[in-house]
Each structure stands twice: as structure tokens, then as C-alpha cells.
């Protein structure tokens, strides 16, 4: 493995926090936290490490022989390791390479930090999260409350596109995004967007399509020279920060994320989740859906199920 392994010990004091990560800790002392980033030398890993380095006392590790040291004592493990998308590639094209990388890293997590919260960024997330679950099950360390597929970038995109149409500041916008983390499996719930704006049904359809195709749009715009690395790093840092807040007892931390779920008949599904001291405190329901969203939900289920099963089958080969 050529990726650099980096861990960051985080001290949750308001004075050392950056506004980029929306720090909201109280001035009371809280436990030290260690965050390990597996794949810190990659396109996402580098800027993600930079953002997490805004926390003090960062230590770097490199190579397989230092993997154990990077993971020991970690509270949160973020996995952006793997190859990026290139023009013409689907997320499925990434599967065989990234699936093997994820499987190996999850074996190490099970060995060195089995109680860490695992934030999966490596694509295809719809398959890599089930792979991780199966690896942890075999190791006897699986806890459904501690495994997350990071879908925050879909939320960031949906909020940005909606704010543009609604002509409101993006900072005040909230849009839940449910389903999965690839193409048609991404379902932004614009009917639940706040603030409520007069956006036409035609515009909602276009916003949904653009949110689903956001990754492809970036890959094509970069013409083979990269993918959505910076925005994914930003989104990954936001979600990691939410996990740390939950661990540290900050109340009412709610984020959309891809987790084991009973919200639908699928074994894994992205929806709003309340985070707490043990990871997932509560998986929240979908709420009222528009007819367009209900149709989208039914359309995404077969593809998402196929991706989940693909991951399970790979892990059990």
C-alpha cells in the first residue's frame, strides 16, 4: 500500500477550532480524540488531512509496517484510500481495485481499533460499506452503530444547487439526501428543504439530476486530470467533525449517512441519523415525500440492492 497513513489527535477546545469545520464545543474539558486517515497521500486524503490538521498534535505514519501504530487507539477512522474516477468510468469500474483495498484496511481496523467509528469514503460506497460490515462480522467486531458511508458531499451539492435556484445564502439551507451514494441511488428530498422556496417542479427535477450527476460533472470538467477531491475532503471533514461532536456528547447532532437501516426493506440506506457517544443513536425516518420523490425511491432500490449484494459477495469470496 503506497498511501500515507496519518492520525490526528484532537483536543476539543473552542480556541483551537476552525470555523471551516463548524466547531461548536463548550469550554468544558472533553476527552482527547484520535482520528486516523487511511489514504492520506491521495487526492482526497491530502486536503482532508489538511482540514483535520486544523486540530493540534498531528502525527504521520507511512506504509504497511506502520499501519498498526496509525490505528491503535483511534476513535474515528476515515477511509478515502483507493483510485479516483476518470472520464468514462462508472463507480462500478472502481469496484475491483477499491474493494480489495477496503477489505485489507478493515481487517487492520478489526485488529487494532475494533471500537472506532469508521467513516467510509472509498467508492463505490454503496458496496464498500457492506464489504466493511462483512469483514467486521467475520472478525467478531461488527457494530452497526459504528460504520458509516460518508454521503455528506451529496448533501453539500444539493444545498448549493438549491440555494442557487432559491436565491438564498447556502449557509442557511438544509436539504436531506437519502438512498445511496451513486447516480440514481442519490435522492435529495427537496420537498423537505429549508428555507421553503418557490421552486418549480421542473426545476426540482433538474436539481435532482444535477445532484445525482455531480461527481460526473466534476470528472468531465477536469478532463481526466482529477475528480471531486477537494469537495469530498471538505465533506469528509464535516462528517468526521459531526462524529467527534457526537462522541463528545454534543446534543442533537444530525447528519445524513449510509448505514445499516430498517428505514426501507434494504439492509443499508442513507438517511438522517442522530449521532451520539456510541456512534448512531437513532436512524431517523424519511418523513413525508412528494410523488416525485416516492417514484425516485422505488427506482433507486433495485440498483442500490445490487450494489450492496455485490459488496457482500466480494467480502465472502
Active-site residue set:
181
DSSP 205: H
Our separate counts of H helices and E strands in the chain read: 9, 11
157 a known binding residue?
yes
Residue 303 C-alpha cell reads as: 440498483
How are beta strands 177-179 and 279-283 bridged, if at all?
A: unpaired
Peptide bond into 124 cis (omega under 30): yes
Residue 31: strand, helix, or coil: coil
Continuous H helices in 118-254:
125-139, 152-166, 201-212, 214-221, 229-247
Q: Return the closest-CA partner of residue 245 out of 53, 55, 103, 7.
A: 55
198 a known binding residue?
no
CB proximity list for 278: less than 8 A, separation 6 or greater = 145, 146
3 a known binding residue?
no
Q: What is the dihedral of CA 212, 218, 219, 220, to 10 degrees?
A: 100
Cα angle 11, 14, 17 (rounded to 5 degrees) comes to 70
Cα angle 219, 222, 228 (rounded to 5 degrees) comes to 50
CB proximity list for 88: less than 8 A, separation 6 or greater = none
DSSP 147: E
Contact, 151 vs 258, CB < 8 A? yes
98 a known binding residue?
yes
1 a known binding residue?
no
121 a known binding residue?
yes
123 a known binding residue?
yes
Q: How far apart are CA 201 and CA 263, in angstroms?
A: 26
Q: Which residues are annotated as a binding site for substrate?
A: 85, 91, 123, 157
Q: Which residues are annotated as a binding site?
A: 85, 91, 98, 121-123, 157, 232
Q: Which residues are annotated as a binding site for NAD(+)?
A: 98, 121-123, 232
Amino acid at each position: 500500500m503506497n498511501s500515507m497513513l496519518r492520525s490526528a489527535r484532537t483536543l476539543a477546545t473552542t480556541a483551537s477550532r476552525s470555523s471551516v469545520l463548524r466547531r461548536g464545543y463548550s469550554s468544558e474539558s472533553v476527552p482527547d480524540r484520535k482520528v486516523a486517515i487511511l489514504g492520506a497521500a491521495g487526492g482526497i486524503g491530502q486536503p482532508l488531512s489538511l482540514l483535520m490538521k486544523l486540530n493540534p498534535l498531528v502525527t504521520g505514519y507511512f506504509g504497511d509496517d506502520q499501519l498498526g501504530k496509525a490505528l491503535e487507539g483511534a476513535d474515528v477512522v476515515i477511509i478515502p484510500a483507493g483510485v479516483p474516477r476518470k472520464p468514462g468510468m462508472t463507480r462500478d469500474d472502481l469496484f475491483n481495485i477499491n474493494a480489495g483495498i477496503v477489505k485489507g484496511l478493515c481487517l487492520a481496523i478489526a485488529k487494532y481499533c475494533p471500537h472506532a467509528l469508521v467513516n467510509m469514503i472509498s467508492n463505490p460506497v454503496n458496496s464498500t460499506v457492506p464489504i466493511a460490515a462483512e469483514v467486521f462480522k467475520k472478525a467478531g467486531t461488527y457494530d452497526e452503530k459504528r460504520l458509516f458511508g460518508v454521503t455528506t458531499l451529496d448533501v453539500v451539492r444539493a444545498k448549493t444547487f438549491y440555494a442557487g435556484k432559491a436565491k438564498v445564502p447556502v449557509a442557511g439551507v438544509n436539504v436531506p439526501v437519502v438512498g445511496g451514494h451513486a447516480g440514481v441511488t442519490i435522492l435529495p428530498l427537496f420537498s423537505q428543504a429549508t428555507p421553503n422556496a418557490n421552486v418549480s417542479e421542473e426545476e426540482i427535477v433538474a436539481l435532482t439530476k444535477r445532484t445525482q450527476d455531480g461527481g460526473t460533472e466534476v470528472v468531465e470538467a477536469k478532463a481526466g486530470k482529477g475528480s471531486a477531491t477537494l469537495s469530498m475532503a471538505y465533506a469528509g471533514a464535516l462528517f468526521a467533525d459531526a462524529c467527534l461532536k457526537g462522541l463528545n456528547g454534543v446534543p442533537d447532532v444530525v447528519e445524513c449517512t449510509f448505514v445499516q437501516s430498517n428505514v426501507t426493506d434494504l439492509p443499508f440506506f442513507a438517511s438522517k441519523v442522530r449521532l451520539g457517544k456510541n456512534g448512531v443513536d437513532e436512524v431517523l425516518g424519511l418523513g413525508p415525500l412528494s410523488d416525485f420523490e416516492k417514484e425516485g425511491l422505488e427506482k433507486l432500490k433495485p440498483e442500490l440492492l445490487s450494489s450492496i449484494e455485490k459488496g457482500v459477495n466480494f467480502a465472502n469470496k
